[in-house]
Structure 1
């Protein structure tokens, strides 16, 4: 969903492998942007294995499956997280048919969502891990891609594979990297440098470093309590790191709006 003609700034949040904290990061970035007075909608694009609702402690009556089947309108499936305008689009869990949606069905989802998107500044798409066709298509539909990695070698190799497929098959050249679960911010820079080096050497691709989030005991506690970390412990190490990332997302949006405005007036 290219936003060149829209107000909403879309970010797909992806990872090469599971277990790197991608969904938790998506939730807390949304919360941080909401607290900065932005209108934010979180979309659970991990079709078939949805878990954003679990992190939020919610049990939505309707989800994207109902929207696709024509059993519910967009307005009926949007779930408020906090007022005003911090909302959530839930997906289904345990529905194998949703895991590998074809292109027409994915486009159908976004066509149906257009009616509400102009209410928001940010669309954050929490996309499943790996390189399935559904993951790749969703990632290609957003204006920006945030690839979440951890310092583990398997995370680096799987993220490289994801970036390689998106760049070679979808001609995507812009990737912003967040290194999660690091012992220090310096470790984050080192992990990014290793991934960036491989992408420059083999893909002729320069990655963009968004930042790192430190390992923090407050994170699993917030997950168990089913509240966003930034609500439970905003001054924690990880909380401060996520707030710094949110500031960068705001700057990216400002730049997008400037470019859009200059194009309209050229």
Structure 2
């Protein structure tokens, strides 16, 4: 096996509507613009939405990988030329939502030839504690949980981290607070979640950063363009850029650890 240099990151949330997919897309764009080829997988496998955010209609998606002889390169869609690609999911396909271990192993065997082309692999996962979401989250080297100041977001994110900890042995989480109205609210939101994790799970989540509430983001959604393209100087875009710089530094620090393992650890162990 050649030395791996791809850092895999799952981006997940306890509940929907917290801006998870927008954060995944725009962080990916920042890293790509920083010189890091990146593959963004829409892993909300039965309810695809990345293609909608991008205003494109892919001819094929990951269901074609499982149901036909389609090659991964035929499925990947360039968001930007030269190293920012995404793998579309399918919509309205219940069997993809409840993938078993054999199907996950088949998917990774077909996708693995792509991974070495990228510095980062982002998995934009569905919200909640669906078994497929949990399995994919446990596979990646890093996990980023997106929360908002809403109490339901905090309680659902805590539940997600609890299940990943108790059922999959995952104990390392990074947190992004989205849609806060101030830095004080960001800090308070993170501390509420972190305090519960310390007290009841003996877990110490790490604060990766906050993304401020910003009207430029829904404007970008309506235009079906990444925020980093249409309003790169907006407050939310600047916050996302700062988080991307942290991820860039983390990958550099982790390169020796990445060398001897596959980008998607659990899938690779299951498949091989």
For this structure pair, what is the TM-score category when the shorter chain's length is used for normalisation? over 0.9
Aligned length: 260
**Is structure 2 residue 84 aligned with structure 1 residue 59?**
no
1:232 alignment partner in structure 2: 230
SS in 1 for 2:169: coil
Which consecutive segments of 4 or more residues in structure 1 shift more than 4 A? 260-263
SS in 2 for 1:164: helix
In structure 1, stretches of 5+ residues that fail to align are: none
In structure 2, stretches of 5+ residues that fail to align are: 262-272
> In structure 2, do the counterparts of structure 1 residues 260 and 72 end up closer, same or farther at CA, with 3 Å as the change threshold?
closer
Equivalent positions of 1:195-214 (< 5 A) are 195-214=193-212
Tell me which of the two structures has the higher relative contact order, counting C-alpha pairs closer than 8 angstroms and 6 or more residues apart: 2
Equivalent positions of 1:154-165 (< 5 A) are 154-165=152-163
With the length of structure 2 as denominator, give the TM-score of the two structures. Answer: 0.93
1:183 alignment partner in structure 2: 181
Deviations 1:200-232 (A, max 9, x none): 000011011101000000000000000000000
What RMSD over aligned residues (CA atoms) do the two structures have, in Å? 1.5
Distance (Å, rounded) in 1 between the aligned partners of 2:157 and 2:106: 28
What's the CA shift for 1:71? 4.1
- The answer to whether the 8 Å contact 1:185/1:213 transfers is no
2:67 alignment partner in structure 1: 69
Deviations 1:15-49 (A, max 9, x none): 00000000000000000000001101100000110
With the length of structure 1 as denominator, give the TM-score of the two structures. Answer: 0.95
What's the CA shift for 1:97? 1.5
SS in 1 for 2:17: coil
What's the CA shift for 1:186? 2.2
